[in-house]
């Protein structure tokens, strides 16, 4: 039997996600299908080539649309908090820009239950701060780790706080997410889109406080959560007038490193 396919039928959509999963065994995909998630195109008789729509990847000879967008209603802040609570340690390069202050770049390390090390790249290049939750004290080496002199300070000392008043003992991702969570409880959370930050794909989330209220001087947070590990790779905040307070990029994030690859926390 010969079947002719009219021009109007050259583009065929198949809305059964299970069919593509069953035939190609694509791992890690949700079971509930969305009709537009998989699309197949027949041979284009005029161009003489097969065309795949943007965002389509090939699996086992078939073309399947892949999306890194989270499902609607997903609380990415809660997911990130759970991910952080499961961590043993992490290292990251922080790049901070804020109004009226010079840019700050720090190599940052954290280890459970709250040890912190900050090696300054700029300003104060070469200076190192460490914090121990056991002693509750901060050690400062102005000219590099384990060099003379070494100063012992309290974490609430203004000499070692950022222009925004950040303290070293409240500088980790977990503390940030707790502040965002508090804002969530008194405002609105919006999932914007999946965007590219540096070399990473990240879900953009905006958390806005209710009118007339601010939390620790912040009215709105914008966060970009890495689609792979779920932790933030960029954070920005604003005050009630819409004026930017600080924007922080988190680059080269490494999590759960072996002890041999961790720097000393002094």
- Give the pLDDT confidence score for residue 258 in this predicted structure: 96
Count the neighbouring beta carbons within 10 Å of the beta carbon of residue 23.
13
- List the Cα angle 195/165/144 in 5-degree steps: 90
d(CA 80, CA 149): 39
Give the number of other CB atoms < 10 A from CB of residue 110. 23
CB 92 within 8 A of CB 253: yes
Cis amide linkage into residue 149, ω under 30° from 0: yes
Q: Which of 28-37, 188-197, 201-210 has the lowest mean pLDDT?
A: 28-37
Alpha helices (H) in the chain, listed in sequence order: 17-24, 76-85, 173-185
Mean pLDDT of the chain: 81
Angle at 105 between CA 81 and CA 149, to 5 degrees: 105
Q: Taking residues 106-134, what's their average pLDDT?
A: 97
Domain ranges of the chain: 7-65, 76-261
The answer to whether residue 215 scores a pLDDT higher than 70 is yes
Question: Max Cα separation, the chain?
Answer: 90
CATH class of 76-261: mainly beta
Cα 190 to Cα 222: distance, rounded to the nearest angstrom = 10
Using DSSP bridges, classify how beta strands 137-141 and 244-255 pair: parallel, antiparallel or unpaired: unpaired
Residues near 171 by beta carbon (within 8 Å), at least 6 away in sequence = 108, 116, 118
Among 26-35, 227-236, 250-259, whose mean pLDDT is lowest? 26-35
Confidence of residue 113 (pLDDT cuts 50, 70, 90): very high
Residue-wise pLDDT tens digits, 50-94: 433 334 333 344 444 456 778 777 999 999 999 999 999 999 999
pLDDT in tens, 138-155: 999 999 999 999 999 999
Judge whether residue 11 has pLDDT over 50.
no
């Amino acid at each position: 039997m010969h079947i002719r396919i009219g021009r109007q039928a050259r583009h065929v959509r198949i809305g059964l996600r299970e069919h593509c999963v069953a035939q190609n065994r694509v791992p890690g995909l949700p079971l509930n299908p969305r009709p537009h998630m998989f699309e197949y195109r027949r041979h284009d008789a005029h161009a003489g080539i097969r065309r795949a729509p943007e965002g389509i990847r090939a699996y086992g000879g078939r073309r399947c649309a892949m999306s890194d967008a989270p499902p609607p209603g997903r609380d990415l802040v809660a997911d990130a908090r759970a991910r952080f609570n499961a961590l043993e340690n992490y290292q990251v390069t922080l790049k901070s820009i804020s109004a009226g202050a010079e840019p700050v770049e720090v190599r940052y390390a954290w280890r459970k239950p709250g040890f912190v090390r900050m090696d300054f790249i700029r300003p104060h290049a070469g200076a190192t701060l460490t914090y121990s939750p056991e002693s509750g004290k901060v050690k400062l080496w102005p000219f590099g780790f384990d060099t003379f002199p070494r100063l012992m300070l309290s974490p609430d000392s203004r000499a070692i706080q950022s222009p925004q008043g950040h303290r070293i003992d409240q500088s980790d991702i977990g503390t940030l997410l707790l502040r965002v969570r508090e804002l969530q409880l008194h405002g609105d959370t919006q999932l914007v889109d999946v965007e590219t930050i540096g070399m990473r794909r990240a879900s953009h989330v905006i958390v806005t406080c209710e009118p007339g209220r601010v939390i620790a001087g912040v009215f709105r947070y914008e966060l970009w959560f890495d689609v792979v590990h779920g932790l933030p790779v960029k954070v920005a905040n604003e005050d009630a007038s819409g004026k930017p307070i600080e924007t922080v990029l988190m680059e080269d994030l490494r999590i759960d490193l072996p002890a041999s690859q961790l720097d000393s926390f002094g």
